[in-house]
Structure 1
Amino acid sequence: MGHYPLFLEMADKAALVVGGGAVAERKVRSLLQYGASIRIVSRDLTDGLKDLLETGRISFAGETFVENHLEGLTLVFAATDDRQLNHEISIKARERGVLVNAVDQPEDCTFIVPSIVRRGDLTIAVSTSGKSPALAKRVRKQLESQFGKEYAIFLDFLGRLRGRVISLGLSSEENSRIFNGVVNSDVLKLLAENRPAEAAGVLAGILPEDLVIEDILSDFKNIWGE
């Protein structure tokens, strides 16, 4: 049947990673990118995980997993090399309604982690529902070549522009016309070709006169220079 695609808010949410190897470290570092509060359970840790502990970016919950470790969690990764332990963690997590991912054991997962392409706040997720991580990785690499850094810059600008346009009190139809005009213009192409001044000129021809065009274009050029 496949998995329901969902983006989960993890800022300041409690997450547990059981395991201390390279896979566990990758899960920890990924969660840190989204502001999760992470606890780890393992007898042995990679040097990278030790560094994260020493700098206070994650906390140590113990050497051995116990059911109480699941209290108050949003999700747990079972990332040990013991398949039976991962299975048991999955059972306990399901009983408590905690989202669980047992690495390389799709039958023990209530969620899977897709292959991700990130360009600033633009996130593209690729999933094969656990059937072929290798194919998901291949598709991700294709997307990485298709979506360059210009998308991050453009999206940052669009986020700033949106508030300014809405503040004008125009109709929803007019707002849509403006946003679609900007998105479907040559701005992205010009950014990809490193021609920001020309991109700014295109924007000036699309945006409504009621906006302070100089401020908008200044924002745009500042983002490009960041």
Structure 2
Amino acid sequence: MDFYPIAVNLKNRLCVVVGGGDVGERKVRGLLEHGAHVRLVSPQAKRELVKLACEGKIEWRAQKALPQDLEGAFLVFLATCDRAVNDELERFARERGILVNRADAPERCDFIVPASFQAGNIEVAVFSGGEAPFFARWLRIRLENELSRNLGTMGELMSDLRAELKEKPIDQRRRAEILNTVLESDILEILRQQGKEAALAHARELVNEL
């Protein structure tokens, strides 16, 4: 697999989406959820995208995409059916070091977007390197159905516990060992049956015993 799994901070970075159809709408929504400044370039756009533009949540250039529409972008999603336009925009982007994702040519993508879901401060992502995207989406749905109910709370609990451990005079390796011991205990079952406070109390008892 050629793709390196990495989480990128897009807050306030310019990200361009070319194409106002279903694919473009999904990309716009995902970018907004992660704090990006979104520029949509498309002569027409789906109703929800028009609404976002009217609300000032995205910048919409209602025109056929031109290379200069990508100026200043960190990354671009090319989500049109016009291969000639996509080819021209891809060349322009690569000359300027702009990362490219092409819906019509996965093999030419600099990056791909995994199937993911978020629960609290935990985000789970699944990707197949572009080889089996439908399976990745199926697996994401299965994982979300099985894990999401308590995953966010568990993430908050472990974050709280980690913060408490950082106040103790122990090194990073020992802290990691303690956290792993807590995770390997029956803490998730306690969380499911008795709630966060009981689970946190259980974790603190384990810490005191170690």
Show the counterpart of 2:8: 8
Listed one character per residue, the Cα deviations across residues 89-114 of structure 1 (whole Å, up to 9, x for unaligned) are: 22221121100111132133111111
Distance in structure 1 (CA, Å) of the matches to 2:176 and 2:130: 37
Structure 1 stretch 56-65 or stretch 38-47: which is displaced more? 56-65
Q: Residues 43-62 of structure 1 correspond to what in structure 2 (within 5 A)?
A: 43-62=43-62
TM-score, normalising length from structure 1?
0.84
Residue in 2 that maps onto 1:165: 165
Counterpart of 1:223? none
Residue 215 of structure 1 is matched in structure 2 by none
What is the match of residue 192 of structure 2? 192
1:129-208 → structure 2 map (5 Å cutoff): 129-193=129-193, 195-196=195-196, 198-208=198-208
Q: Greater CA deviation, 128-137 or 33-42?
A: 128-137
Identity of aligned residues (%): 35
Aligned partner letter, 1:84: A
SS in 2 for 1:155: helix
Q: 1:11 to 1:114 in 2, by over 3 A?
A: same
Q: Mind listing any 5+ residue stretches in structure 2 that lack a counterpart?
A: none
User: 1:204–1:161: structure 2 CA closer, same or farther, 3 Å change rule?
Assistant: closer
Q: For residues 175-214 of structure 1, what are the alpha-carbon distances to aligned partners after superposition, in whole Å with 9 as ceiling and x for unaligned?
A: 23332232222121222345445424412412349xxxxx
Q: How many residues are paired up?
A: 209
Residues 153/40 of structure 1: CA separation in 2 closer, same or farther (3 Å cut): same
Bigger CA drift: 37-46 or 133-142? Answer: 133-142
TM-score under structure 2 normalisation?
0.89
More displaced 10-residue stretch of structure 1: 163-172 or 52-61: 163-172
Q: Distance in 2 between matches of 1:174 and 1:26?
A: 43
Which residue does 1:118 correspond to in 2?
118
List runs of 5+ in structure 1 lacking aligned partners: 210-226
Q: Secondary structure at the match of 1:65?
A: coil
Separation in 1 of the partners of 2:92 and 2:194? 53
Q: Provide the aligned C-alpha RMSD in A.
A: 2.0
